[in-house]
Amino acid sequence: MKKYNILITIFAATMFFHSYDMVGQVQDPRNVLWGHGLNRTSTAWDLYAAHFQNTRVLASANTSYTTDNGMIPAKASYRHEYTQLLGVLESVEGRNIGIAQDIGGLVDRDLDQSLLPAEQLHGGYISIGTPHAGMEFANSYIQGKVQDFTNDACNKLTDGIAAFTTVNFSGAFSGFEPVDICNLAQSYADSHYNNSTAQDIQEGSNYIGNLLAQNPTSTPKANISGSENSPVHWRFLSSITVKPFELQLDETEESLVEGINSLREDYRVRGKRRTNGGILWTFVIAPLAFTGAIGSTVNGDPVPGFVGGIAALVAGIDKFSDATKLKRAKRWIDDSESKWGELIGTSVFQTISYTTTEFVCDELISENLSYTLLLDLDCWEEIVNNTTVAVQLKNDGLLTEDATLFAQLPPGCNFVADEANHEQLVNHPNVKQHLNTILDGNCNLFFLTAKN
């Protein structure tokens, strides 16, 4: 019996390595099923589908499916569309790879955890920027917090100040006005989350809870999260407004970021000027006008000192009012990343400890002893203090790394694409690098795919 077991083992090993060449490259072709995210179509993956089909021994299967009717209908639509598409492709017997971004990763995970192996569309999958733990931004949209964010921005950026605020936006954002900036978030949210899918993917939903409650399968998996540089919200929103190609990433991002910085500086400078003007008219010109030391005119006609003083006071108050509005607008820009972080769940409060050396002999001090006590080391103690500070968790502009982490994966199968926001994950050099690492078999040999 032992002899037959040995023969079976040798046969299985031979069949396993048959698909590999002398340097470990998989030679048999395989299909990659590209799954797009919410409110997108198959075109989201056009660049990568073409790139990897040209550089690897694989066939890219790329189609659109319904994403705005809830996650269960999305899963059914995905399965239907790809079953139809795979019917015209060469069978690769369970070696299909699913690569999906955003809710596409949830669809792949749901299919993997809810279908029998014989019913699976792919033998392994790679999720990219997927809200495995749910999406806090969906909660914020449903609860009206995104609308509050937009209203607050529009009120402060445009309240009586647009008339004397000019800003030079460049590139794709030339011609933008403050009102365009404050509406960016709402426009994105309305186009993506005004549907039943948002209910399913919000943190704490039954759908997310059911996915997390299921035991992980043995299906090979890998995961890529994004981590954008500050200011993440402007970089993320710039990618929504203008879909960047790889060579235009920095140019497109910086166009909006530099425009926002220019707008902030405009508010700051003009606010300072109006503050100085308010001081001049209120505390210098008005008193001089009241005393008659200087003359005042209304419509070119001389006015008495009292009336001239009142007119100067009104002018000063108007300038202070303008200055307040301008400073409020600047402060909103300064605080906007933190406010955005509250919407996506990245603004958290942490308690930190710090030590101070304090004098503890206050009750013993007298005129005769104070100097002596100051030199007494026993009168000084190190005191540990605690304070709460706001910090921003690493995120891709929409999801925290924790929200996209696939906790059950083995070490070396969770990757982070630095400098990539959520929209850029479908076309970013750092994502491409991680995909190549995975397809080289460094996470799981299942993904090992030969290069052309």
Q: Which two tokens stand for residue 207?
A: 């759908």
75 and 212 assigned to the same domain: yes
Q: What is the pLDDT of residues 164-194, one digit of tens each?
A: 666 666 666 666 777 788 888 999 999 999 8
Residue 342 predicted with pLDDT over 50 = yes
What is the average pLDDT value for the chain, to the nearest integer?
83
Residue 383 predicted with pLDDT over 90 = no
- Tallying the residues shown for the chain, one arrives at 452
Q: Supply the pLDDT for residue 77.
A: 96
Q: Is residue 250 part of a domain?
A: no
Residue 92 predicted with pLDDT over 60 = yes
Q: Which of 70-79, 111-120, 359-368 has the lowest mean pLDDT?
A: 359-368
Q: Is residue 166 part of a domain?
A: no
- pTM tops 0.75, yes or no: yes
Residue from 92, 96, 103 nearest 62 by CA: 96
Domain of residue 443: give its range. 21-128+198-228+395-447
Query: Among all chains, which residue has been given the structure tokens 């707008």?
Result: 263
Q: Are 34 and 105 in contact (CB under 8 A)?
A: no
Give, for 280, the enclosing helix (H) or strand (E): helix 249-280
Amino acid at 284: V
222 and 352 assigned to the same domain: no
Strand order in the sheet with 58-62: 58-62, 30-35, 97-101, 124-128, 221-227, 414-418
27 and 113 assigned to the same domain: yes
Q: Supply the pLDDT for residue 357.
A: 84
Q: Is residue 88 part of a domain?
A: yes
Q: Supply the pLDDT for residue 133.
A: 94
Q: Is residue 118 part of a domain?
A: yes
Categorize the per-residue pLDDT at 243 as very low, low, confident or very high, splitting at 50, 70 and 90.
very low
Residue 298 predicted with pLDDT over 60 = no
CATH of residue 216? 3.40.50.1820
Task: Give 229 or 262, the one with higher predicted confidence.
Answer: 229
Q: Supply the pLDDT for residue 246.
A: 38
Q: Is residue 408 part of a domain?
A: yes
pLDDT (average), residues 388-396: 82
Residue 291 predicted with pLDDT over 60 = yes
Q: Is residue 168 part of a domain?
A: no
Instruction: Report how many domains make up the chain.
Output: 2
Burial readout 348-371 (b: 16 or more C-beta within 10 A, e: otherwise): eeeeeeeeeeeeeeeeeeeeeeee
Region label for 384, one of left (φ > 0), alpha (ψ between -120 and 50) or beta (otherwise):
beta
Task: Give the C-alpha separation, 253 to 251, whole Å.
Answer: 6
